[in-house]
Amino acid sequence: MKKILIIDDDKELLASTSKLLKNYSYDVITAADGRTGLTKALSENPDLILLDWMMPEYNGLDFMNDFEKQDNYKTPVIFVTAMGEGINTDNYEVDALNSGAVKYISKPYNAAVLLSSIKSFLRIPKADISDSTGDSQRHIYNDGELIIDHNQKQAFRFDESLKLTSKEFELLAYLEKNAGVVIPREDLLHNVWQYDFFGDVRTVDVTIRRTREKIELIDPNSEENSAQYQNQYKYIKTRRGIGYYFPKQV
């Protein structure tokens, strides 16, 4: 049974989240403040931590600053927090990810999204978990929806295998490793096919389309998803006339 630590000063939310997770057979421990949470994180060695940001005296970032110095820092931490109405949470989300958290979820949270995120991160061994913000030594990309396991050469959406072919995976992995960089088709052909294929760059387009069919929620073959809809893709985007790229921030 996987153990989850919830750290939140909102007692009602602490109780309701605890009940939700117990209903899904998780072993749940709780803490009503950040310092107690850190003590339990070190003594209980949970498999995952749900962390509130806006706690008095010792907030979520204070927790992360101290927790990252510990031996069991590899435990995934998901920020679940509210910043109030009218506040742009983008900067907070970036700060949360930069602090070492693996995901940021706003309150009031959607239970299905929270449970799916928990399930996604718990299926990965602690030693292999890293965030999606650019560690060159990472082995796994995980944004809570898409998982790219570079060591095992597999990709998942939530907990379901995407069953990519070897070239589809290599193409996706290469784009993700170079996130934010628009890569021309010729360069993709050179770096992914590694000179073992000499042919038309349209082969790249075909492989991109097949990969999108498996990882994107938008059907790349439908008529409505012609060139003007290219930016709707979440993971493999097109820079018209140049090439393809995996976004740095999904």
All domains of the chain, ordered by start, with CATH? 3-132 (3.40.50.2300), 162-245 (1.10.10.10)
What's the token pair of residue 2? Answer: 């996987």
The number of residues in the chain equals 250
What's the token pair of residue 89? Answer: 């949470």
| pLDDT at residue number 136 | 42
pLDDT at 201 over 80: no
Tell me what the mean pLDDT of segment 185-191 comes to: 85
Q: Which residue type is seen at 117?
A: S
pTM value is 0.55
Q: Give phi and psi for 176, each to the nearest 5.
A: -65, -40
**Higher per-residue pLDDT: 129 or 115:** 115
Question: Which range among 67-81, 109-123, 128-142, 169-183 has the greatest average pLDDT?
Answer: 169-183
What is the rounded average pLDDT for all residues in the chain? Answer: 82
Q: DSSP code of 89?
A: -
CA distances from 106 to 18, 96, 243 (A): 17, 12, 34
Angle between helices 111-122 and 11-23 (to 10 degrees): 60
Residues 6+ apart with CB under 8 A from 87: none
- Strands, E assignment, the chain: 3-7, 27-31, 48-51, 77-81, 103-106, 140-142, 146-149, 154-157, 160-161, 183-184, 237-239, 243-245
pLDDT in tens, 78-103: 999 876 555 555 677 778 877 888 78
Tell me what the mean pLDDT of segment 2-10 comes to: 95
| pLDDT at residue number 197 | 47
Distance between CA 135 and CA 102 in Å, rounded? 13
